[in-house]
Amino acid sequence: MSLRITHLGSGSKGNATLLETEHVRVLVDQGFSGASLERRLKLLNLRPEDVDAILVTHHHGDHGGGALIAQRRWGLCVHANARTADELSLIKELWKPFVSLEAIQLGPDLAVLPVPVPHSGADNVAFIASHQGQRAAFITDLGSWTDELVRYVRGCEHISIEANYDDRLLKGGPYPRSLKDRISGRGGHLSNDQTGAFLAEVVTDATDSITLTHLSDMNNRPHLAESTVLYYLDDRFQGDIRLSLQDGPEFTTFMGDAVEVEKGSEGHATPSLQREGS
């Protein structure tokens, strides 16, 4: 079976991504309230109790703020590095520590490698998930990148990466200068141009799908993010590119094959294709 990737929602108000294989279900980040997580999973005919574990990139509230809720309410195990666990006051009995660049085996068919990324005030990591010889990268909240990150992401079959802001919208927007400088700094977030430049370094013929995440409501627009990234990629990428917005889930990506999730008559999301094994 393929690795199924569903962004439950992405943005400054909360982030979580569901990874599913034949044997395991894992969340990358849990930045939602308990009620919001329940609602989003219900759209996929799942409950929080169906999740086997949570991986947290870093402690900022929109990524890890709901991890403790998940521990207390559903007894879920949370994988996080030491600083993140301390900042989130995680329950030690339900915390599994990891260190960067040491693989985490989450099931017989899923392993994840944490790779450090620069983000101010946090010990942040990207995750590279490996499933049956294929790899998917999940990268968020970084203002720049390292040669090490490029090395681990290059050639991944799927890449989810933030495209947080458009330079002109940020510079001309209402934020105070100090906040603009923090967002655009080395430890802030990636602009559309930076995301495009990074992808131009790591995308290869093996890359089948890209999802752009964590778009700013104030400082970005979906069409700007997509068109800017495609400009940098030019003709080197022939796969699917999608955008994950705040009010997900909107679609599921099978490793190398994006499958849309359509909105039902009452505004609920319903998979346009059946999941494998259903």
| pTM metric for this prediction | 0.91
> Would you give per-residue pLDDT tens digits along the chain (278 residues)?
689 999 999 999 999 999 999 999 999 999 999 999 999 999 999 999 999 999 999 999 999 999 999 999 999 999 999 999 999 999 999 999 999 999 999 999 999 999 999 887 789 999 999 999 999 999 999 999 999 999 999 999 999 999 999 999 999 999 999 999 999 998 899 999 999 999 999 999 999 999 999 999 999 999 999 999 999 999 889 999 999 999 999 999 998 443 444 433 333 333 333 333 32
Nearest residue to 76 (alpha-carbon basis) of 55, 58, 97, 60? 55
CATH of domain 4-265: 3.60.15.10
| Domain range annotation of the chain | 4-265
Write out the two tokens for 3: 């690795």
- Does the CA dihedral 31-186-200-223 come out positive or negative? positive
Write out the two tokens for 74: 């559903």
